[in-house]
Structure 1
Amino acid sequence: MFIPKLYRSEDSILMKEIIRENSFALLISSVDKIRATHSMMMFNEDDPENTYIETHISRANPQAKVLQNGDEILCDFLGAHTYISSSWYDHINVSTWNYEAVQIYGKVELMDHDELYAHLEKLTSKYEKFQQCPMMVKDMGKEFVEKEMKGAFGIKIIPTEIFIKQKLSQNRKETDFKNIISHLETSDDNARKIAEKMKLIQK
């Protein structure tokens, strides 16, 4: 991901927020050919000194058939994003897109049985706890869960490089910057979220 200095961030809190709110991300590898799978990901901070991304894909997925310990992989998270019209500037220019994104390169570490079970418990709890009648892994019975687990391929991604990008019209003068926010605030949810992010960085 190309990140001009103006849009580069080192904010780990922002990184975790983007991952948490946009966890259905792309798992990209190039072991035998370029492969990409959308999968649910979680940022594991159980040990703050050894954080990692955890996810799982189907064992029937061709990507699962080639991944091994030590392979390099890329996790791609796209956060809030929206179109920026050039009609919102006080001068002629090109339209663009504002967005937040995180890319994490890392080394594959395959999960063992217990790690995969714990991963599925955490992942299920994250989303089921908001349901009216939550169905947790413990409610399904261990025998059933372990039968279903046979079709899951658990992966930990140990980060080697982390890139955080916030492209929020930082290159625009104040009047255009404020005008962009005004237009975004009257648009859809993603646009309004970008407007809020722009206000946070406003000087």
Structure 2
Amino acid sequence: MYTPSLTRETNWDTIAAFIREHGFGLLINVDDAGTPHATHLPLALVEKTPGNFVLHGHVAKVNPQWQWFGNGETLAVFSGEHAYISSSWYEKGKIPTWNYMAVHIHGSVRIQEEAEVAAALEALMDHYEAASACPVHISEIDEKTFRNNVNAIVGFELTVKEVNANYKLSQHKEDKDYFSVIDHLKALGDEHSLVVAAAMAARRSSAK
């Protein structure tokens, strides 16, 4: 992902929080012929040892993508909220654009052992069930059903080697246009516009 220095996010705490909030990612690698393959799937960021992070995930065993995990590095893509920015919101300039936040993680993949897969599934389920009114724990799944499901997937661990985060949020604009964009996004009122507006507001103090 091309990321100009002006829009590049380098704070790991910010990036880690983004990944955890937008954990449904896109996993991409290539087969033996160099053809890219991609799967949409939940990915969990885990601090394996102090300062060393990995992503845990799994794909269906019938999905051939896992067979090419050893073909160079794998890419995990996380996309956040985004919004169209109309040039009518600027005092000057007539070129519209799109504001967005995205994170790319490059790394090598290791296939997990069965016990690791089970632990990763339990952690993933606990994380997402926490928001449920009646959370279900993995222990409530009967052993046969659980093992059948574990046998039908391939769990993996992606070691985080390279991080590329792009927060394209009108950083090049002067204050008047910058805060005009924020005001118009707030006026639109949809979830994506409000999140982008909040991210912009957090990055520049109001000068109005």
Verify same fold: TM over 0.5.
Answer: yes
Q: In the alignment, which residue of structure 1 is the partner of 2:63? A: 61
What TM-score does the superposition give when structure 1 sets the normalisation length?
0.95
2: CA distance between counterparts of 1:123 and 1:19? 14
Q: In the alignment, which residue of structure 1 is the partner of 2:153? A: 152
Report the alpha carbon displacement of residue 160 of structure 1 after superposing the two structures with TM: 1.5
2: CA distance between counterparts of 1:142 and 1:171? 56
For the residue of structure 2 that corresponds to 1:37, the secondary structure is: strand
1: CA distance between counterparts of 2:114 and 2:200? 44
Q: In the alignment, which residue of structure 1 is the partner of 2:94? A: 93
Deviations 1:159-203 (A, max 9, x none): 121111111100001100010000011221111011111111104
Pair 1:5-2:8 in alignment:
no
2: CA distance between counterparts of 1:142 and 1:195? 47
For the residue of structure 2 that corresponds to 1:104, the secondary structure is: strand
Q: In the alignment, which residue of structure 2 is the partner of 1:185? A: 186
Report the alpha carbon displacement of residue 88 of structure 1 after superposing the two structures with TM: 0.4
Q: Is the 8 A contact 1:31 1:71 kept in 2?
A: no
Report the alpha carbon displacement of residue 27 of structure 1 after superposing the two structures with TM: 0.1
Q: Which runs of 4+ in 1 moved over 6 A?
A: none
Q: Is the 8 A contact 2:25 2:78 kept in 1?
A: yes
Q: Is the 8 A contact 2:54 2:159 kept in 1?
A: yes
2: CA distance between counterparts of 1:164 and 1:37? 20
Report the alpha carbon displacement of residue 66 of structure 1 after superposing the two structures with TM: 2.9
For the residue of structure 2 that corresponds to 1:94, the secondary structure is: coil
What TM-score does the superposition give when structure 2 sets the normalisation length?
0.92
Q: In the alignment, which residue of structure 2 is the partner of 1:21? A: 21
Q: In the alignment, which residue of structure 1 is the partner of 2:202? A: 200
For the residue of structure 2 that corresponds to 1:172, the secondary structure is: coil
Q: In the alignment, which residue of structure 1 is the partner of 2:131? A: 130
2: CA distance between counterparts of 1:175 and 1:49? 40
Letter in 1 for 2:193: A
Letter in 1 for 2:50: P
Report the alpha carbon displacement of residue 14 of structure 1 after superposing the two structures with TM: 1.3
Report the alpha carbon displacement of residue 130 of structure 1 after superposing the two structures with TM: 1.7
Q: Is the 8 A contact 1:56 1:154 kept in 2?
A: yes
2: CA distance between counterparts of 1:151 and 1:71? 25
1: CA distance between counterparts of 2:159 and 2:171? 32
Report the alpha carbon displacement of residue 92 of structure 1 after superposing the two structures with TM: 2.9
Q: Is the 8 A contact 1:111 1:155 kept in 2?
A: yes
Q: Is the 8 A contact 2:61 2:152 kept in 1?
A: yes
Q: Is the 8 A contact 2:185 2:197 kept in 1?
A: yes
Number of equivalences: 202
Letter in 2 for 1:169: S
For the residue of structure 1 that corresponds to 2:159, the secondary structure is: strand
In structure 1, list runs of 5 or more residues that go unmatched: none
2: CA distance between counterparts of 1:58 and 1:74? 18
Q: In the alignment, which residue of structure 1 is the partner of 2:30? A: 30
